[in-house]
């Protein structure tokens, strides 16, 4: 996102506040009743919002009047995840397998990943502390069912899947040829094309024609006294041209339906036929339970 462009358009100074612990730092400050030192937060996911709400008695974010935010009406319904509209979606992608077609074929189903054809083939990041890992876990819950997903994970781990500490660790291991498949993002080919990589090693797989939706957005802190400026900032993030530029810079997908993308980008930014995601209410009730159950069974192996 172009900081200078926003400041030029709106005669305002935009200051980025970056904390090592990201949203957790603001949750702690809210809990302690001290100044948050910021007006808005960019990059919050449904899972982040659940975590913040669980930790606080008072909400960290205040709802937007979406009718007053220009172009908010063009945010695709599928990307809205907060029923209270405290968060406006600004970026998206899809979590899915990325694979080397010289070594393996596209997995037709998630179940196929437990078979001999994919033994010792898949790398993924830990669902306890990474976005790609958690969303892949949620996908397996959605696909296999709440009563059967742990049985699926037993079969998956018995097939010598490797779980690494971070997405960057998993992707680096994949890039180094340690395995022919990694759980990453459906826009991986955009990166590969930009970097001149061998596209055979950057094929996108959508098992069951699905991928789990990754969405993040902007939230207005409940303590801000700059409501109008935050509204203007949200409008800027949802502007079709800014959405286009941000998608290209972040190797993602716009959330507004009136943003166009460069032809080359569209060629490589893949979208599954059947995106998968849980509602905010389901996540609020179950995500910790599912993640903890996974940790007890899988991470302790």
Q: What is the pLDDT of residues 116-142, one digit of tens each?
A: 999 999 999 999 999 999 999 999 999
160 in the same domain as 196:
yes
pLDDT recorded at residue 173? 98
- Same-domain check for residues 88 and 139: no
Q: What per-residue confidence (pLDDT) applies to 122?
A: 99
Whose structure tokens read 């699926």? 152
Given 165, 191, 212, which residue is the final one in a domain?
212
pLDDT at 3: 75
pLDDT tens readout for residues 172-223: 999 999 999 999 999 999 999 999 999 999 999 999 999 999 999 999 999 9
Q: Give me the number of domains the chain comprises.
A: 2
Give the count of beta carbons closer than 10 Å to the beta carbon of residue 42: 16
Residue 239 has pLDDT above 70, yes or no: yes
Q: Which two tokens stand for residue 193?
A: 């094309």
Judge if 62 and 88 occupy the same domain. Answer: yes
Joined tokens for residue 177: 């040829």
Q: Which domain holds residue 206?
A: 96-212
| 218-240: average pLDDT | 96
102 and 205 inside one domain? yes
Quick one: angle between helices 131-144 and 167-175, nearest 10? 90
Q: Which two tokens stand for residue 40?
A: 């808005």
Is the same domain home to 169 and 235? no
> What pLDDT was estimated at residue 1?
56
Please report whether residue 290 resides in a domain. Answer: no
Whether 198 maps to a domain, the answer reads yes
Residue 51, helix vs strand vs coil: helix
One domain, residues 46 and 76 = yes
pLDDT confidence bin for 13, thresholds 50/70/90: confident
Place of tokens 């010598």: 160
Same structural domain for residues 200 and 218? no
Q: What is the CA radius of gyration of the chain?
A: 20
203 in any annotated domain: yes
Higher pLDDT, 235 or 4: 235
- The strand pair at 122-125 and 40-44 is best described as unpaired
Average of pLDDT values for 223-241? 95
- Are residues 12 and 83 located together in one domain of the fold? yes
């Amino acid at each position: 996102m172009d900081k200078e462009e926003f400041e030029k358009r709106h005669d305002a100074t935009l200051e980025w506040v970056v904390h090592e612990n990201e949203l957790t730092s603001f949750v702690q400050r809210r809990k302690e009743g001290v100044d948050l030192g910021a007006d808005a937060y960019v990059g919050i996911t449904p899972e982040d919002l659940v975590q913040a709400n669980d930790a606080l008695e008072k909400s960290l974010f205040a709802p937007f009047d979406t009718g007053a935010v220009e172009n908010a009406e063009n945010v695709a319904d599928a990307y809205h995840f907060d029923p209270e509209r405290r968060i406006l979606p600004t970026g998206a992608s899809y979590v899915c397998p990325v694979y080397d077609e010289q070594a393996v074929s596209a997995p037709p189903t998630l179940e196929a990943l437990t078979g001999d054809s994919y033994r010792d083939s898949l790398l993924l990041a830990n669902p306890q502390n990474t976005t790609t890992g958690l969303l892949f876990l949620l996908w397996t819950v959605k696909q296999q069912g709440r009563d059967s997903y742990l049985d699926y994970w037993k079969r998956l781990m018995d097939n010598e899947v490797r779980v690494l500490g971070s997405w960057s660790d998993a992707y680096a291991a994949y890039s180094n040829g340690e395995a022919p498949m990694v759980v990453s993002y459906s826009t991986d080919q955009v990166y590969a094309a930009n970097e001149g990589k061998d596209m055979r090693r950057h094929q996108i797989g959508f098992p069951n024609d699905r991928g789990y939706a990754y969405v993040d957005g902007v939230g207005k802190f409940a303590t801000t006294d700059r409501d109008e400026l935050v509204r203007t900032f949200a409008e800027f993030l949802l502007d079709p041209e800014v959405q286009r530029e941000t998608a290209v810079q972040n190797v993602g997908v716009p959330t507004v339906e009136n943003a166009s993308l460069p032809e080359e980008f569209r060629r490589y930014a893949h979208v599954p036929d059947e995106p998968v995601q849980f509602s905010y209410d389901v996540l609020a009730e179950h995500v910790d339970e599912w993640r903890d159950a996974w940790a007890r069974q899988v991470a302790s192996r």
